Structure 1
Amino acid sequence: MEQYKEKILEVCNKACENTLMQTLDIEFTDVGENFLTARMPVTPKVHQPDGVLHGGATVALAESVASAASYIFLDGQKFFVRGIEIAANHVKSISEGYVFAKALIIHKGRTTQLWEIRVTNAEDQLISLCKLTTIALPKT
């Protein structure tokens, strides 16, 4: 995996062009045997009216990183990956800096996958804990 790390990150970041991920400035930053990480700047663009990170932007980050991880760890040439359920618990607010999302596989089935996504700040404090279920649909 280490020898392919830069290429995987390059492909993931290129796939963000002209998408919601580009709009939110999401950048994939690290990949390993069972995880993918991304970061998103916390600026007024992703604030709710009172100046803190919007939960919807956090969920968009979480779903983006876990869906990309599904694509990487399954055969993205053979399957479409779609999120079918997401849940989020927001436990701490943030108004500036970056948030970091790390998607870890909990269940890797042939059809469905379950991901845990920890969203943290630069001090590794938990901002949100998310869970995403994805489905792999064969391309025909």
Structure 2
Amino acid sequence: MHTTLMEALQMRVKEKSQQLVKMEMPITGNVKQPMGFLHGGATVALAETAASIGGMEHVNPDSQAIVGIEINCNHIKAKKDGTIIAMATPIHIGKTTMVWNIQIEDEREQLIATSRCTLGVINR
């Protein structure tokens, strides 16, 4: 049984710092829509996860947490197999909010989607 969405969708963190989070997710049956293409919601889930992991690099995890406030995503290219890679970089790091840009590419470095995510910083 999976305990997080990351586990259920097989998301993996490949690189993590305050300036870049790089994650990948395989395109399996778990992330496809009924016609066999990568589901846009799975792409958005990867984007928000990458931004949130980046956000946690900027706060004290003992007393603060990151929550999603808003996310948008433009889906550029359809995909049926392979892997997608999210690269999240900060645009704004504030005391109570953050804005992250997320580019999602495939294993051939083709742009699949582009996203922007606003995060909230809350006290635990």
Which residue does 1:22 correspond to in 2?
Answer: 7
Q: Deviations over 1:89-127 (max 9, x none)?
A: 000011111000011000001110000011100111110
> Is residue 2:20 matched to residue 1:35?
yes
1:45 to 9, 14, 30: 30
Out of 40, 61, 68, the residue aligned to residue 46 of structure 2 is 61
What residue is the counterpart of 1:128 in the other structure?
Answer: 113
How many residue pairs get aligned? The number is 123
Q: Paired residue for 1:94, among 65, 68, 79?
A: 79
> Are residues 1:115 and 2:100 paired?
yes
Q: Which runs of 4+ in 1 moved over 3 A?
A: none
| Alignment correspondent of 1:12 | none
Q: Which blocks of at least 5 consecutive residues in structure 2 are unaligned?
A: none
Could you report, residue by residue, the CA deviation over 1:6-47 in whole angstroms, capped at 9, with x for unpaired residues? xxxxxxxxxxx6101100000000124401111000012211
Going by fraction, where is helix more abundant, 1 or 2? 1
Q: CA separation in 1, counterparts of 2:89 and 2:60?
A: 17
**Aligned 8 A contact 2:68 2:118 in 1:** yes
Find the residue that maps to 2:57 and give its secondary structure.
helix
Of 76-85 and 99-108, more deviation after overlay is shown by: 76-85
Residues 64 and 33 of structure 1: CA distance in aligned 2, closer, same or farther (over 3 Å)? closer
**Alignment TM-score, normalising by the size of structure 1:** 0.84
Q: Which runs of 5+ in 1 are unaligned?
A: 1-16
CA RMSD of aligned residues (A): 1.1
Identity of aligned residues (%): 37
Which residue is 2:66 aligned to?
81
Higher relative contact order (CA 8 A, sep 6+): 2
